[in-house]
Amino acid sequence: MSTWAIGDVQGCYAELCALLDKIGFDPRADRLWFVGDLVNRGPASLETIRFVKSLGERAVTVLGNHDLHLVARAYGFAKDRHDDTLEAVLAAPDRAQIIDWLRERPLMHQSEDHVMVHAGLLPQWSIARALELAREVEQALRGPRHLEFLGRMYGSDPDTWHDDLTGVERLRVIVNAMTRMRFCTAEGRMEFRAKGEQAPPGFHAWFEAPGRRNAQATIVCGHWSALGLKLAPGLIALDAGCVWGGALTAVRLGDRTLVQVPCGRVPAQ
């Protein structure tokens, strides 16, 4: 049995099918990890999410910022962006089931020494602590007051983690770290404007922050297309920018075998 981690699909369903064919995916024996952002900007979000949903326990997907955007749009808490490609999902007859399924997805997943999260982890969080915090958000998304949470989920403040944060502000910092972060300070202050590879003054790529308490695990992530594919000790970063004309990437967790398929269409603008 093999476990393959796959980068941000973002509605690139044809490339996903080609990638699974190339790795020889056997649904009877293999498992897939998706790093989040199954949907949006690509041409086939509905086909992608229906397919991953149909895999059941053969696939694990963590929530990315675009997945949360879809959920927020479905409930009227986010506006249509000019580059959204979510209308087919929102108009689908099984829309309610899709949105409920997304709300049930984890924010973070661990199996032995591999941990999957869409964007990253703040340096002061141990793996155990980060899993506890992820569960807080998951409970809010799945619970009877999920509309209240979704209505206040967006925003970049507070931009720093403190253990004494409470309520929606606490949950917002957790969501932002795990689904939006690229750069942070050693003290856990996040910067959301920069999207390139170069850290702003005083900040570090989150996985290079000094004193990172989660460095003992191998973290599997995506989100950062400008960074691209990065395989390093303790890090498997898989967003190779398929939706932007790059490639869709899979890495086998056991031995880091790398497989890619190129974008087969006009990239998103």
Per-residue pLDDT, averaged over 226-239, amounts to 97
Q: How many domains does the chain have?
A: 1
pLDDT of residue 264: 82
Q: Is the pLDDT of residue 222 over 80?
A: yes
Q: Enumerate the β-bridge partners of residue 160.
A: 189
Per-residue pLDDT, averaged over 254-261, amounts to 96
Give the single-character DSSP code of 107: S
Please tell me the distance from the alpha carbon of residue 111 to that of residue 60, in angstroms, as a whole number.
Answer: 11
pLDDT tens digits for range 165-219: 999 999 999 999 999 999 999 999 999 999 898 999 999 999 999 999 999 999 9
pLDDT of residue 15: 98
Asked whether residue 204 is domain-assigned, the answer is yes
Amino acid identity of residue 163, one-letter, is D
Per-residue pLDDT, averaged over 113-118, amounts to 97
Please tell me the distance from the alpha carbon of residue 145 to that of residue 109, in angstroms, as a whole number.
Answer: 23
Q: Is the pLDDT of residue 267 over 90?
A: no
Asked whether residue 200 is domain-assigned, the answer is yes
CB atoms within 10 A of CB 208: 15
Which residue, 196, 202, 198, 128, is CA-closest to 159?
A: 202
Say how far residue 212 (Cα) sits from the centre of its chain: 20
Structure tokens at 203: 């900040």
Q: Is the pLDDT of residue 231 over 80?
A: yes
Give the SS3 label for residue 241: strand
pLDDT of residue 1: 85
Asked whether residue 153 is domain-assigned, the answer is yes
Please tell me the distance from the alpha carbon of residue 91 to that of residue 227, in angstroms, as a whole number.
Answer: 34
CATH code of the domain in which 183 resides: 3.60.21.10
Range of the structural domain that residue 168 is part of: 3-262
Q: Is the pLDDT of residue 52 over 70?
A: yes
Residues 6+ apart with CB under 8 A from 135: none
Amino acid identity of residue 230, one-letter, is K
Per-residue pLDDT, averaged over 45-49, amounts to 98
Contact 142/179 with Cβ under 8 angstroms? Answer: no
pLDDT of residue 268: 67
What's the farthest any 2 CA atoms get from each other in the chain?
A: 49
Give the single-character DSSP code of 160: B
pLDDT tens digits for range 131-149: 999 999 999 999 999 999 9
Please tell me the distance from the alpha carbon of residue 230 to that of residue 221, in angstroms, as a whole number.
Answer: 10
Which residue, 141, 118, 117, is CA-closest to 127?
A: 117
Instruction: From residue 13, give the alpha-carbon distance in Å to each of 190, 202, 237.
Output: 32, 39, 20
Please tell me the distance from the alpha carbon of residue 44 to that of residue 26, in angstroms, as a whole number.
Answer: 23
Asked whether residue 268 is domain-assigned, the answer is no
pLDDT of residue 143: 96
Q: Is the pLDDT of residue 87 over 70?
A: yes
pLDDT tens digits for range 92-111: 999 999 999 999 999 999 99
Number of residues written out for the chain: 269
pLDDT of residue 171: 98
Helix (H) or strand (E) holding 232: strand 230-232
Pairing verdict, β 59-61 and 183-184? unpaired
Asked whether residue 45 is domain-assigned, the answer is yes
Asked whether residue 35 is domain-assigned, the answer is yes
Give the SS3 label for residue 253: coil
Sole residue written with tokens 């053969």: 58
Asked whether residue 85 is domain-assigned, the answer is yes
Asked whether residue 267 is domain-assigned, the answer is no
